């Protein structure tokens, strides 16, 4: 089983490398992370924290947008594309299960995302530490940011596979992927915000809203990074919500999501008749 998963992963890495995905993802992450770090150099003094902390706070916001985007762009074509080309039928006549195919692709894609996160955030982190100083806490926050960004990427890779298996054409899959990104990253928060304003600090805002927030992997990602580090929360302005939830809630959400999404993708993929 491992051998087959690795065989699929190896081929998928060749493809990602040759399609310049690896290079593009890494360059994009690095450029944005460096830009944010130096743009964030100004407010350091006001908050009384080191530059790396501020940098991590702004990179957290960046990652909420970019990690799902990169993941969906890599995964939406994974099944619909092969199905349209006709390669999927041939692949499925080999003694390899659909779960193994999916997991092999996942390994290659998550590896690409991990490389981009480590290099991008790592470079920005080193730059911030050198120019503005860093402490144990801010280095830990940076490592947490890298780890949780990879988890967030994993969620959207798996969701991308699920929608790629659900539709038959790559074009439809691309459209759905854009919609999915919009809903999870933008619309969900907007909707909740509207409800909070309407509720005017009532029962909903204090007891339901934080849980609804943590149910969304993108918000769970934000909350985890914020609640784990007071300084990052301070720099991010999210202390209120983070305090209303138990510490385990955001990590649980962000760890359960990739698993659940992967199982969903496998289930949908199993129903595909190439």
Binding site residues, another protein, CB under 8 A: 3-4, 6-8, 10-11, 14-15, 18-19, 82, 85-87, 89-96, 273-274
Question: For another protein, which is the closer residue by CB, 45 or 95?
Answer: 95
The 10 Å Cβ neighbour count of residue 95 is: 6
Question: Are 44 and 50 a contacting pair, CB within 8 Å?
Answer: yes
Q: Which is nearer to another protein, 85 or 206 (CB)?
A: 85
Compute the least distance from the CB of residue 195 to another protein, in Å: 44
CB 177 → another protein: shortest distance, Å? 20
Our CB check for another protein shows the closer of 10 and 187 to be: 10
Q: In 40-169, which residue ranges form alpha helices assigned H by DSSP?
A: 44-47, 51-75, 80-85, 87-91, 98-132, 136-166
Nearer to another protein, 16 or 154 (CB): 16
CB of 217 to another protein, least distance (A): 30
Q: Least distance (Å) from another protein to the CB of residue 175?
A: 23
CB 235 within 8 A of CB 57: yes
Least gap, CB of 2 to another protein (angstroms): 11
Instruction: Name the residue nearer to another protein (CB basis): 11 or 143.
Output: 11
Q: Which two tokens stand for residue 221?
A: 């990602």
CA angle 54–67–206, rounded 5-degree value: 65
CA distances in angstroms from 248 to 103, 210, 240, 251, listed in the order given: 27, 13, 16, 6
Counting Cα atoms < 13 Å in the Cβ hemisphere of 131 gives 17
């Amino acid at each position: 089983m491992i051998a087959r998963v690795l065989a699929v992963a190896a081929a998928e890495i060749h493809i990602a490398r040759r399609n310049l995905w690896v290079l593009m993802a890494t360059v994009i992450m690095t450029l944005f992370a460096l830009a944010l770090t130096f743009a964030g150099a100004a407010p350091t003094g006001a908050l009384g924290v080191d530059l790396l902390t501020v940098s991590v706070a702004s990179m957290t916001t960046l990652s909420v947008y970019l990690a799902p985007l990169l993941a969906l762009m890599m995964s939406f074509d994974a099944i619909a594309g092969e199905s349209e080309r006709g390669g999927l039928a041939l692949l499925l006549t080999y003694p390899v299960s659909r779960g193994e195919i999916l997991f092999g692709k996942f390994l290659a894609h998550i590896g690409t995302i991990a490389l981009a996160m480590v290099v991008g955030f790592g470079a920005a982190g080193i730059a911030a530490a050198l120019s503005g100083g860093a402490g144990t806490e801010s280095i830990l926050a940076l490592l947490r940011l890298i780890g949780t960004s990879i988890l967030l990427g994993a969620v959207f890779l798996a969701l991308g596979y699920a929608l790629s298996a659900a539709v038959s054409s790559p074009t439809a899959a691309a459209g759905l992927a854009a919609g999915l990104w919009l809903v999870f990253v933008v619309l969900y928060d907007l909707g909740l915000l509207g409800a909070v304003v309407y509720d005017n600090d009532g029962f909903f805002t204090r007891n339901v809203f934080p849980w609804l927030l943590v149910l969304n992997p993108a918000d769970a990602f934000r909350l985890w990074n914020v609640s784990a580090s007071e300084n990052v929360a301070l720099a991010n302005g999210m202390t209120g919500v983070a305090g209303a939830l138990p510490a385990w809630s955001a990590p649980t959400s962000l760890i359960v999501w990739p698993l659940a999404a992967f199982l969903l993708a496998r289930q949908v993929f199993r129903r595909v008749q190439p």
